[in-house]
Amino acid sequence: MTTNATKITIEFDDRTVRRFMIASIIWGIVGMLAGVFVASQLNFHQLNLASWLSFGRLRPLHTNAVIFAFVGNMMFSGIYYSTQRLCKARMASDLLSNIHFWGWQLIIVSAAITLPLGLTRGQEYAELIWPINIAVALIWVVFAVNFFWTLAKRNEPSLYVALWFYIATIITIAMLYIVNHLSIPTSWTHSYTIFAGVQNGLVQWWYGHNAVAFFLTTPILGIMYYFLPKAVERPVYSYRLSIVHFWSLVFIYIWAGPHHLLNTALPKWLQMLGTFFSLMLWAPSWGGMLNGLLTLRGAWDKLRTDPIVKFLIAGVTFYGMSTFEGPLLSIRAVNALSHYSDWTIGHVHAGAMGWNGFMAAGMFYWLTPRLYGTKLYSTSLANFHFWIGLIGILVYVGSMWVSGIMQGLMLNATTPDGHALVYPNFIETLTAIRPMMAFRIIGGSLYLLGMIIMAVNIWLTARKGSPVNETREVAVIETNQRDTMGLKETFLNDPIACTFAGLVLILGWLFLPPGADIASLVCALVFGVLAVKRFQTGHHRWSNWYDSLLTNWLPFTVLTFVAVALGGLIQIVPTVLVNRATNVEDRIQQPYTPLELAGRDIYVSEGCYNCHSQMIRTMLPDVLRYGDYSRLGESIYDHPYQWGSKRTGPDLAREGGKYPHSWHYDHMKDPRAISVGSNMPAYPHLFTEKFDQGTLWKKIGVLTRLGVPYPAMSETEVKTKAVEQGIKIVQELETQSRAGAMPDSKIVALIAYLQKLGKYDLVDPEQMPLAKPEGVPFPLKPGIPDGYRTSAVTK
């Protein structure tokens, strides 16, 4: 390796690192404060102080703040710090760094304003309205350009494993975010997603699950690979483990999204892929944990003395715990118990507080003295933060385990003969977990206290020192050894050829018609054996190729993109193209009238989906409690879908016609008047505010473009229809002695929507386009109606 080295002195951009760190701490405290507040609202409904301070609107604020503001800023500070050092180069553009920082903070502020106002897209962690979506995408591109430009300018030819994870993060989040936010605007603050029903669900959880993977996991793993060896001053445990777990993690993670929709109307092949890829994800996830924990070998004593090591190692341990729990919760039988319950809430908090929060704390305590050229103000305060944080997490997660399992068991309990529910009243199960909800407030508050202690400690450290930008002398490498790999070299080599050929055979097994599928599987197995043989004889060739790949950032990025794009393509494209016509099962939803649509938008805006699902699973207790299980066709016009992921209250899929208008009228005014012990907020503002008639016509126009079969209606017709239906509901309310409702009030629109839930028309099996849909060259198995749930249609 001949290099012509000229030495230059560079000054790293540590100002941006400091800014992101401070922003992360501030937003972290804000987000967790919101968390403690919404947790308290669950126990004390009186805390729903105003419409903009109600649970349904603040819970998205909490989740978005913690994910995108706290972890987002933390990730950026870690990436900016380590990338510059690993590339031996200053960030490519100070201007882009500035735009990235201020743009991101502006996005957070606008989210903090719009969410309490009830402006939302109604999908979890994808609530922000479309103008903010565009801003996020643009700022992400700014970040990407800045990052990859720095890679291109690097003075260190080889890419360290931390950078692999950063690359995966940047390209995957861009892909997920853009696809899941594809919408058509109806006004400056409202849009409808282009996906409906099951497609929306599938895309949403492809995004949602992989936001966890590529926003909360891969960047933090990259940060672990940089800061952990730095903190413990030991070499990383295993380079080859890094390779294996990186590529398996980014490839497998993408497929696991459907495990959020188990036992629902989602086609079986997708549910099964979700479960089995989640199980196969366990080992790759633990590969990261092992590489973290075992790096500490020979330096375990530091765990006693150094709070930074305590935080990092506890963080990695929580990562291992969460990534074991995840596959466990993806098993259908476990999921039948845990889904919609607090167990899931505990699971994500073990990840967010234990893994993200503790990794953030460890990194910040390591960074601060270096960024301000001094020693940490107080090690004992940091130690105190660690212990109070740890106790907080354990109290929180423990109480959520108890709560989730207890409520799940109660909701699913049937009498010994299996003919009736043991606890027919939902409220009973809610009352049972009330004490656990109180413990969650305590746990969350302890953790928040730890964060505040950290903020004070870091503030005092910063005051003691002064901001320093590290300068370093680096050799500028003039070499032809890097970034020279062409297309041929990238794809035409043993590892890639074997992987692709194997994948094609496995896809043949999953997708080809009966007979050909088994043949494909056998070929895949034989091929696998041959590939392993080939690797054993030529593994030097494989590792040499990989070493040279590491000196080529663009081919590395392209291959990473291929790995992460595959799973989504294979799951989503058939569902959008092939399954659209055939998979309505035996029922099709009745489109919403203008008034019902207005009511639905109020339902979405108030965040009702945060506590109410609209999906009755194929499970006896669900069917006994809520009615016949939901069919795919019953949400086919729902933009966005509202299947939900949590049942703090009962499922509403078949709420329509279950109770008279007066029941809903009273219930929305004061839930406890109707259902004693309920923790639902009261919605007095719905009785005084008017629903939005102005945009209704535009909204129906957009939905028509998206395929909802509305008849042609003029703007006046739409308004007239809405008001006429409103008047009818008001009259019916009057006969039920509820006088005084206004036909154009939000409550009337919401009642119209709630009474429509579960209304469908039967589909004549003869008329069903069961034959292969046009444009599909050969019958793919998932295109054939799924033998699992469609027996009612085919027989």
Partner 1 sequence: MNSSSPNKSTDNGPVLRDHVYDGIQEYDQKLPNWWLFTWYITIVWFVIAWVAYYQLHVGESGQEKVDGQMAAIKAAQLKEMEQLSDEKLWAMSQDEKVVSAGAATFGTTCVACHAPDLSAHLGAVKLPGLPLNDTEWKHGGNPLQILNIVRKGAPDITKGMPSWEPQLGLNRVVEVVAFVLSKHKKGEPVTLAADSPLKAGAATTAPAAAAVSATPPAAGK
Range 249-278, binding partner 1 (CB under 8 A): 263, 268-269, 272, 276-277
Interface with partner 1 by CB under 8 A: which range of 25-33, 71-79, 200-208, 240-248?
240-248
Q: What is the nearest approach in angstroms of partner 1 to the Cβ of residue 542?
A: 14
Residue number, 107 or 653, with CB nearest to partner 1: 653
Residue 90 to residue 81: CA distance in whole angstroms: 10
Q: What is the nearest approach in angstroms of partner 1 to the Cβ of residue 484?
A: 18
Instruction: Determine contact, residues 646/613, Cβ cutoff 8 Å.
Output: yes
Interface with partner 1 by CB under 8 A: which range of 181-189, 492-500, 666-674, 701-709?
666-674
Interface with partner 1 by CB under 8 A: which range of 155-163, 313-321, 376-384, 400-408?
155-163
Chain centroid to CA 602: 24
Residue number, 294 or 523, with CB nearest to partner 1: 294
Instruction: Determine contact, residues 650/426, Cβ cutoff 8 Å.
Output: yes
Q: Which residues, numbered 614-653, are part of the site for partner 1 (CB under 8 A)? A: 617-620, 623-625, 627-629
Q: Which residues, numbered 380-419, are part of the site for partner 1 (CB under 8 A)? A: 415, 417-419
Residue number, 230 or 534, with CB nearest to partner 1: 230
Binding to partner 1 by residue 435, rule CB under 8 A? no
Binding to partner 1 by residue 286, rule CB under 8 A? yes
Could you tell me which of 80, 75, 108 has the C-alpha nearest to residue 94? Answer: 80
* Number of Cα atoms under 13 Å in the Cβ half of residue 148: 18
Q: Which residues, numbered 682-701, are part of the site for partner 1 (CB under 8 A)? A: none
Residue 467 to residue 464: CA distance in whole angstroms: 10
Binding to partner 1 by residue 199, rule CB under 8 A? no
Binding to partner 1 by residue 434, rule CB under 8 A? no
Report the residue from 112, 184, 280, 496 that binds partner 1 according to the rule CB under 8 A: 280
Widest CA span of the chain, in angstroms? 92
Q: What is the nearest approach in angstroms of partner 1 to the Cβ of residue 176?
A: 24
Q: One-letter amino acid identity for 222?
A: G
Binding to partner 1 by residue 541, rule CB under 8 A? no
Residues listed for the chain: 795
CA-CA-CA-CA dihedral for 280, 285, 291, 292, to nearest 10: -160
Binding to partner 1 by residue 788, rule CB under 8 A? yes
Interface with partner 1 by CB under 8 A: which range of 202-210, 223-231, 314-322, 564-572?
223-231
Binding to partner 1 by residue 85, rule CB under 8 A? yes
Residue 467 to residue 447: CA distance in whole angstroms: 28
Interface with partner 1 by CB under 8 A: which range of 63-71, 84-92, 146-154, 604-612?
84-92
Instruction: Determine contact, residues 23/73, Cβ cutoff 8 Å.
Output: yes
Structure token pair of residue 714: 């003029």
Residue number, 71 or 224, with CB nearest to partner 1: 224
Place of tokens 């992987």: 499
Chain centroid to CA 379: 35
Report the residue from 180, 210, 493, 755 that binds partner 1 according to the rule CB under 8 A: 755
Binding to partner 1 by residue 237, rule CB under 8 A? yes
Place of tokens 């019953």: 634
Q: What is the nearest approach in angstroms of partner 1 to the Cβ of residue 667?
A: 9
Q: Which residues, numbered 518-537, are part of the site for partner 1 (CB under 8 A)? A: 518, 521
Residue 370 to residue 372: CA distance in whole angstroms: 5
- Please name the residues in contact with 601: beta carbons below 8 A apart, sequence gap of 6 or more: 190, 692, 699
* Number of Cα atoms under 13 Å in the Cβ half of residue 110: 18
Burial of residue 38 (CB within 10 Å: 0-12, 13-18, 19+) is buried
Residue number, 14 or 124, with CB nearest to partner 1: 14
Binding to partner 1 by residue 242, rule CB under 8 A? yes
Binding to partner 1 by residue 613, rule CB under 8 A? no
Report the residue from 317, 662, 695, 704 that binds partner 1 according to the rule CB under 8 A: 662
Q: What is the nearest approach in angstroms of partner 1 to the Cβ of residue 733?
A: 11
Q: What is the nearest approach in angstroms of partner 1 to the Cβ of residue 409?
A: 18
Residue number, 68 or 556, with CB nearest to partner 1: 556
The 8-class DSSP code of residue 298 comes to T
Q: One-letter amino acid identity for 455?
A: A
Buried b (16+ CB within 10 A) or exposed e, 674-693: bbeebbbbbbeebbebebbb
